A and B are shown apart, each in its own frame.
Chain A
Amino acid sequence: MSLQPTRPMMAASYGLLAIAAVVSIVPFLYILSTSIKDTRSLFSYPPEWIPDQVFWGNYAKLLQETSFLNWTANTFMVGIMITVLKLAIDAMAAYALAKLDFVGKRAVSAVLLTAVAIPVAALIIPLFFLVRDMGLLNTYWALILPALANPLGIFLLRSFIVSLPDDLLHSARLDGAGEFRIFVQIILPLISSGLVVHAIFTFMLQYTNFLWPLVAIQTESRQVLTVGIASLKSNFVVDWGLISAASLLATIPITLLFLALQRFFMAQSLSSALKG
């Protein structure tokens, strides 16, 4: 079978990609359009994509009358804390599991693997009691600590470290380096692409996490973006313009982050695919 794409095949794939692009972009444009309308033009019929009069009121209200900036700051603070701590913990655990021999290694692996299989929803209630009893409810630690316990990243980084030749470590040991020095000077630089992938995943996951912050944080000013935006909808009125403005602003930082690291991210997924 020839792998050379034929013209109709090309046309078909471009068609499909175009549809996919429209499907993912149109909602954004709709949100953008909604966010710059006042309440009256919002419900005008037929709906207009570009309002006659651009209305910035939603943004002004969002930044002045809600805790939006607070939520953003909280989200970043929590996200960065989690990413940094998680990378440090996961990389060390991955190194130990990949390259060191210790008693109970298989048991530890088994426990970690089991933990991956437990759905988050099943953990919410016991986790709530645990965090409450530790007196951490309604603090940032309630958001940070549980996120660190997710072992998936250990397995990701472990696969990177396993692929490093043992002789490299032997050589470093003979050269006089201790385990921590080997970890910092040899392992970490050589798995930097894995660390970036893990960091992006971790940060994005945290950025979009909704359920746990909803449960764990009660004070509005300490809330993160996801829950904060949802709370803009009161029981009686839904201010679509305001919510759209918030949603749009919230997507900007994460989009920029992805764009900045995208080249690295793609290259890595590709090269790990090629290595097989």
Chain B
Amino acid sequence: MTGAAIEFRSVCKAYGDFQAVRDLDLAIPKREFLVLLGPSGCGKSTILKLLAGIEDPTSGEIFVNGSLVNYLLPRDRNVAMVFQNYALYPHMSVARNIAYPLKSRKGEARNRAMVHEKVLQAANLVEISDQLEKRPEALSGGQRQRVALARALVRDPEVFAMDEPLSNLDAQLRDAMRQHLTALHRRVGKVTIYVTHDQHEAMTMADRIVVLKDGVVQQVGTPREVFNAPTNTFVAGFLGNPKMNIGPGISLGRDSVRIGEFDLKTNCGTGPKGAPLLVGLRPTDARHEGGSNCIQGTVTALEYTGADTVVTLSTSASVDLRFRHTNASSCTEGKTAAFFYAAEHVHVFDQEGRRM
């Protein structure tokens, strides 16, 4: 047995003809904060439900701490889940909500004093111990989310499964909660599997990111790996804002590719000379000067975002290209502009979209 806390082996889940998860193989080491990232309908929530036992896999095996859990009831899996809509029991006070996992378990802490102490501990961890007597309806979104967290914490589970827990909060609160969650994870030190469609959350919180599309894992890696070396055009396009420019080009052999009339050096493979391929350039990797790796064109649009400006160029490449410019006062619509790329930032994909 491997040392992984959680392991999925060839797990599939189908709803009728719809394949929600296909052939998932994933090992998650202890203490890891793993983020499942993908657009809606990519199967990321289904994976959580499979792990928690809310859904049964169509085929494949799931292990928690080395033991097969496929046939265990949700309550016997030691997985605590935080739901997107919090799923608090509306007719119970905050304290009773948090205590519920303790009270509903047979043979566990029936001792009132002990339950009370554990509830207080969990409430303190998420800083809601002054709200214990209120009903969920009297709390704000952020407070409700904390109660849901406390209810998960109180069980002292093996795994935390979080299904888009921050998506119902406003931007400011989300920021604060994100930091709170990361800090909490470090303190508690249990495996956390976190589902989101927000790349920012994924990049900032994850130890590793799993990018999913149509139930299939596209790439597994640290935020840096996934961002800097996306395995295919889907991952490349999904991460990064503004989106990576991806346009058709051809191989010049060796370590150069051509997009439009521009020849660019790259660290990626290029395949045989003359082969058609796809070239990817992140708007955020653009530099304003230096080198021969240069794209030139006419400015067709300027989008001011505050810290910087997104410049759209019409070039000899067959698609419009966008670049981030930190000081766009030199750019004017209708005039030409040039952007430079380091070879390591020129991504090359084959025609099926796989990284070369």
Q: Which residues of A contact B (CB under 8 A)?
A: 165, 167-168, 170-177, 181, 185-186, 189-190
B79 close to chain A: CB less than 8 A: yes
Instruction: Output the nearest chain A residue to B82 by Cβ-Cβ distance.
Output: A171
B91 & A170 in contact (Cβ 8 Å cutoff): no
Q: Which of A170, A176, A181, A185 is in CB contact (< 8 Å) with B83?
A: A170
- How many of B's residues come within 8 Å of A, CB to CB? 25
B91 & A167 in contact (Cβ 8 Å cutoff): no
B75 & A171 in contact (Cβ 8 Å cutoff): no
Instruction: Output the nearest chain A residue to B105 by Cβ-Cβ distance.
Output: A176
A174 & B80 in contact (Cβ 8 Å cutoff): yes
**A interface, by DSSP: helix, strand, loop or mixed?**
helix
A-B contact pairs, 25 of them (CB 8 A): A165-B85, A165-B87, A167-B84, A167-B87, A170-B52, A170-B81, A171-B81, A171-B87, A171-B89, A172-B100, A173-B75, A174-B52, A174-B53, A174-B54, A174-B75, A174-B79, A174-B81, A174-B101, A175-B100, A175-B101, A175-B105, A176-B101, A177-B75, A181-B104, A189-B91
**B interface, by DSSP: helix, strand, loop or mixed?**
loop
Q: Which of B49, B54, B75, B85 is in CB contact (< 8 Å) with A176?
A: B75
Contacts of B83 in A (CB 8 A): 167, 170-171
Besides the known contacts A172-B100, A173-B53, 5 further A-B residue pairs in the complex with CB atoms under 8 A apart: A167-B84, A168-B89, A170-B54, A176-B75, A190-B90
B144 close to chain A: CB less than 8 A: no
Chain B 65-107, CB-CB to A under 8 Å as 1, else 0, gives: 0000000011100011101110101110000000011001110
Q: Tell me the B33-80 residues at the A interface (CB within 8 Å).
A: 49, 52-54, 73-75, 79-80
B258 close to chain A: CB less than 8 A: no
Instruction: Output the nearest chain B residue to A186 by Cβ-Cβ distance.
Output: B89
Contacts of A175 in B (CB 8 A): 75, 100-101, 104-105, 151, 155
Q: Tell me the B143-157 residues at the A interface (CB within 8 Å).
A: 151, 155
Chain B 102-124, CB-CB to A under 8 Å as 1, else 0, gives: 00111010000000000000000
B87 & A170 in contact (Cβ 8 Å cutoff): yes
| Distance between Cα atoms of A172 and B53 in the complex (Å) | 12
Contacts of A181 in B (CB 8 A): 104
Contacts of A176 in B (CB 8 A): 75, 101, 104-106, 108
| Distance between Cα atoms of A174 and B105 in the complex (Å) | 10
Instruction: Output the nearest chain A residue to B148 by Cβ-Cβ distance.
Output: A171
| Distance between Cα atoms of A174 and B87 in the complex (Å) | 12
